[in-house]
Chains A and B, each alone.
Chain A
């Protein structure tokens, strides 16, 4: 077995938490059940990985099998990576049947015609997701297995999720190969990025509960209209205000769980407007700002601002449009004309 393959397998196993190694090796299926029985999973990881490498040696593992193990690890720990979303466009209305074999063949051919040294691995998952792992080399160097790109493609949709970690120069090539293989004619990057791959899917596939409810859903356990410490000092006016805020929040965010995003970024190039009495800045040029919101769960956090008294209800459309515009990077400029107070986001 090639020693670089051995080292790569050793390092991949080392990344896995000890309690999960057995499960992952089973999913991998390269080592037989009998071989797995011989492994002592209670020793330190260094030793476990050495033993795994030895068994792989017995089975003559090559880079293809090693790459397959890496895909399995990254599928389970997908949230460790940052994912960007790309959307592909078809030129016409051709309805073609998707053929996975054809896709793989075309993808490999397109990449290999441009770059000889690449390692390409595919794995299909139950939810119609095709995972592609590409390790990149140069005309003179073998592929770097430690900085591969991952692509997740749902063949029934025009969306591709890419986690790059590579030289930007290889990205156009990757995109090219994708559209050729899937019979699209164009691809563009969306302004949408997150660690949570499932949340990105929820957003573009519109799988989250949106603000058009035709029925009144059962309230969740405990209800979420009043906080746990319902204050008896809250009189009727305050209560109706609380209910108004809650209702507006529901309309805008829906009542289900929000997709999980960690940040949203706004590049503001709008004018600074102030009360003329204040006698301050009155420039004709934009007041340039960069605003970044971060949270372990951004949308839930924004949703709780108005009830906490930190924001007006309804919250600004700049924030509430994130899921249905499927973006979390924005450039905001002043809109000219009828409504000088409104903004346009190209």
Chain B
């Protein structure tokens, strides 16, 4: 299902922090306007209580909730839900534009593993992505948790999953791959910490992956392992260092980049569904 590039352009080139979310109880699409109003009131009340998010600035925070029908894998998935916080300074006139403050969105891309086993009245949107100040994420998260009895958890990305991502993305066909395929490793437990950045020319990385992948359209764990072993072996040949013993913390390609703390940036709309599908899968594993 191809998403309209115009509507999803705002998703690209931003760093999104990832969370897994358990199914929402009692969520109704028809009530989005009500929810926006309630969330707005909640945020205003928290600010009054002294949980100030901006010190010294008088801000009215406007909340908007909308559905993104295009952002889903299949008809079995729920449409994505977008939450946007914007501010209008009380000092400025009514005609001035709202300034975007924070955005977050819930989605499910081929999340059938979760949704098919879930009882009535529950809505499955296991992946949550946020962009903006942590304090707003906290406010919005708390309201959703209270209102729909769900649970948010930061989604860390393991080295195993990072290597899956880099292999997959390195193999993507792009007209113009401008960035290198970069893997960043960290060796923290030494007397002096060491970071190693290993960046491969995108054409060469793709050429390697193409010889490793046996069936187009399908990727196996074994193929990912072979790809990574090749990179480790090439590195070892030069430096005599066992990169496989270091911690893979970040991978970066022309398609997308991902950090082990659960932060991703998607650069190409063409691969948006593929990336979201992978992240949905990770979120579901964390929930189950």
A-side residues, CB < 8 A to B, are 266, 268, 270, 272-274, 278-283, 287-298, 300-302, 304-305, 308-312, 314-316, 318-319, 332, 341, 343
Chain B residues whose CB sits within 8 angstroms of the CB of A273 once the complex forms: 234, 237
Chain A residues whose CB sits within 8 angstroms of the CB of B226 once the complex forms: 278, 280
How far, in angstroms, from A309 to B187 measured CA to CA in the complex? 12
Q: Which of A291, A300, A316 contacts B199 (CB 8 A)?
A: A291
Q: Which of B190, B238, B240 contacts A268 (CB 8 A)?
A: B238
Q: Which of A289, A310, A315, A341 contacts B234 (CB 8 A)?
A: A289
Given contacts A280-B230, A300-B191, A301-B192, contact A310 B242 (CB under 8 A): yes
Cβ A310 vs Cβ B191 within 8 A: no
How far, in angstroms, from A295 to B185 measured CA to CA in the complex? 12
Cβ A308 vs Cβ B200 within 8 A: no
**Segment of B26-34, B117-125, B204-212 in the binding face:** B204-212
What are the 3 A-B residue pairs with the smallest beta carbon separation, nearest first? A288-B201, A301-B192, A316-B240
Cβ B192 vs Cβ A281 within 8 A: no
How far, in angstroms, from A301 to B211 measured CA to CA in the complex? 36
Q: Which of B193, B204, B211, B238 contacts A280 (CB 8 A)?
A: B211
Q: How far is the CB of A185 from chain B (nearest CB, A)?
A: 37
Total contacts A-B at CB 8 Å: 116
Q: Which of A270, A272, A292 contacts B197 (CB 8 A)?
A: A292
| B9 interface hit (Cβ, 8 Å) | no
Q: Which of B192, B201, B242 contacts A295 (CB 8 A)?
A: B192
Chain A residues whose CB sits within 8 angstroms of the CB of B245 once the complex forms: 309-310
How far, in angstroms, from A273 to B235 measured CA to CA in the complex? 11
Cβ B195 vs Cβ A295 within 8 A: yes
Chain A residues whose CB sits within 8 angstroms of the CB of B238 once the complex forms: 266, 268, 270, 291, 316, 318, 332, 343
Q: Which of A287, A294, A298, A316 contacts B239 (CB 8 A)?
A: A316
Closest to A319 in B: B239
Q: Which of A283, A291, A305 contacts B187 (CB 8 A)?
A: A305
| B151 interface hit (Cβ, 8 Å) | no
Chain B residues whose CB sits within 8 angstroms of the CB of A294 once the complex forms: 194-197
Closest to B241 in A: A311
Interface size counted on chain B using CB atoms at 8 A:
33
Chain B residues whose CB sits within 8 angstroms of the CB of A301 once the complex forms: 187, 190-194
26 A-B pairs whose Cβ atoms sit less than 8 Å apart in the complex: A270-B238, A272-B230, A273-B237, A281-B207, A281-B208, A287-B200, A287-B234, A289-B200, A291-B197, A291-B198, A291-B235, A291-B238, A292-B199, A294-B196, A294-B197, A298-B192, A298-B194, A301-B194, A304-B191, A308-B187, A309-B242, A310-B187, A310-B242, A310-B246, A315-B239, A316-B241
How far, in angstroms, from A279 to B191 measured CA to CA in the complex? 40
| B233 interface hit (Cβ, 8 Å) | yes
Given contacts A301-B192, A308-B190, A310-B187, contact A290 B211 (CB under 8 A): no
| B68 interface hit (Cβ, 8 Å) | no
Given contacts A281-B211, A291-B235, A300-B192, contact A305 B200 (CB under 8 A): no
How far, in angstroms, from A293 to B246 measured CA to CA in the complex? 13
Closest to A273 in B: B237
Q: How far is the CB of B178 from chain A (nearest CB, A)?
A: 14
How far, in angstroms, from A315 to B193 measured CA to CA in the complex? 17
Q: Which of A266, A297, A310, A343 contacts B192 (CB 8 A)?
A: A297
Contact digits for B224-250, partner A, Cβ 8 Å, 1 yes 0 no: 001000100111011111100110000
Chain A residues whose CB sits within 8 angstroms of the CB of B212 once the complex forms: 280
Chain A residues whose CB sits within 8 angstroms of the CB of B49 once the complex forms: none
